[in-house]
Amino acid sequence: MPPPPHLTAAQLAKQAERKAAKLARKAASGAANSVPSAEELEKRRIIKREWMNLGPSSEGKRTAQIVTWNMLAQTLVRRDLFPGSDCLRWGDRKALLQAEMETHAQSDVICLQECDRLDDVLGSVPDHRPVSARGVGKLHGLVVLYRASRFYIRSQRAVSLDDEELSPNAATGVARRGVSRQTRNMALIVALEENEDKGNGIVVVTTHFLNTSARARSSCSSVLSAGFKKRKVASRGQSSLLEPAETTYQLLAAPSTPLHPSLVESFNASRLRHTSVEKVGVASSEPPSEAASGTATPEAKDKDDEDELPDKDERSIANTRDPVPADGILTLDQLLELGRELLTEPARSAYDSSKYGDETYGSRGGFQKGVTGAGAGEPAYTCYTPLFKLTLDYLFLLPPGAASRAEFTRLLVPPETKELGNGLPRKGISASDHLPVGCEIAW
């Protein structure tokens, strides 16, 4: 377009100079805005974690880095559960959660539990795609994020743990599922195949149990009965089982080792039938829907976040009765037999089988005096709040079969207790009460 005729050459030059100066100022402003301010950096500051190499070499092998993390759903945040916390509001937690996710953006698989605001953190891991599942009526659930530049989904399944069949012989009149309590707990199984190496990949399983003794043991039966087959490597995400000095952990990590009498006693005491089973009824055995969007999620009821309050019965064993044979709730001997059938070898824990530091579950006195078992090498704490400090989060490698055997080659080192302050969530440390755990496997 020709310049207006009334402008002289000098005026045109001056106009061009002003335009160039304006564009320069705009570019400088954009560059300045792309650099986070000191205030923004402080909002995103979290505890620094390091990865360490373990003994086995990964040279010449395939590897996969896996992280699992209970994010603490915003809908479950309660001031009375986290007294003194300075980051319970979503406006404070969001930046910390995003910063944590960014630190794991190079991981091949990220398993999340208690995830209720996935869209707010997806941008922190742009190469990952989600598969999710949640129990009916729950506002939070499980997510498996996989690196799309490396993997595609070969198969996926969401498992309602309340619906898993434990007693296959219906002719005997024994309930097939053996539900002790309606929990709406889920497991999510995702088979990932290499984009460039067809026929090779991993199966990732993540699940989440509420930390109540009777419910955790009931869920353990379902987890043991889920099929982890047909792949060379099977890695299990977080499993919030209770602590290592509990029957559930020992059944996974040492299924052939006799349980300490105190664990046998506590297990038998936990075999109860809660009235929620009669009130709600055992859920349908129809498999959950698998949507084309990459989710595998049973239909959820529309509920406001504030409606999902803790069940008053979850704080005790009220409204329960002893089971009868027709309930189908497995005895300890039956559960042990089932576990040994499905686990030809013990499940191997990333942390319990590795040497990474002096602060461990065993060194902090996790086992009662005179009680020993698998799990002494787990982190001292993975859940650290002002009210309870526990080891609840695990990474297991399930038996891959005789054809190949996977090894742990790197580990996300747990922080020292002194770095966790008075308890989580806490600004500058973590937006969740749980700490991520991670490993690299090679096969």
> Can you tell me the distance from the alpha carbon of 236 to that of 220, in angstroms, rounded to the nearest whole number?
13
Closest C-alpha among 145, 7, 15, 163 to residue 71:
145
3-class SS letters over 76-100: HCCCCCCCCCCCCCHHHHHHHHHHH
Q: Which helix (H) or strand (E) holds 224?
A: helix 213-225
441 bridge partner residues: 64, 408
Structure tokens at 268: 């038998």
- Alpha carbons 27 and 33: distance in angstroms, whole number: 10
- List the chain domain ranges: 62-160+184-255+289-303+342-442
The CATH fold of domain 62-160+184-255+289-303+342-442:
Deoxyribonuclease I; Chain A (3.60.10)
For 39, counting Cβ atoms within 10 Å of its Cβ (0-12 exposed, 13-18 middle, 19+ buried), the class is exposed
**What is the identity of the amino acid at 97?**
L
Is pTM, for the whole model, over 0.85?
Answer: no
H-assigned helices in 38-183: 38-43, 90-103, 119-122
Is the Cβ–Cβ distance between 392 and 242 less than 8 Å? yes
Other C-beta atoms within 10 Å of 431: how many?
25
Q: Tens-digit pLDDT profile for the chain (443 aa)? A: 555 556 666 666 667 667 666 766 665 555 455 678 899 999 999 999 999 999 878 888 999 999 999 999 999 999 999 999 999 999 999 999 999 999 999 999 999 999 999 999 999 999 999 999 999 999 999 999 999 999 999 999 999 988 887 766 555 656 677 788 888 889 999 999 999 998 888 899 999 886 443 332 222 222 222 222 333 333 333 344 589 999 889 988 998 899 999 999 988 988 888 888 875 544 433 333 333 344 444 444 434 333 343 444 444 467 889 998 888 888 999 888 888 888 888 889 999 999 999 999 999 999 988 888 999 999 999 999 999 999 999 999 887 653 357 889 999 999 999 999 999 999 999 999 999 999 999 98
Residue 74 CB partners (closer than 8 Å, separation 6+): 90, 93, 116, 117, 305
Q: Give the pLDDT score at 400.
A: 60
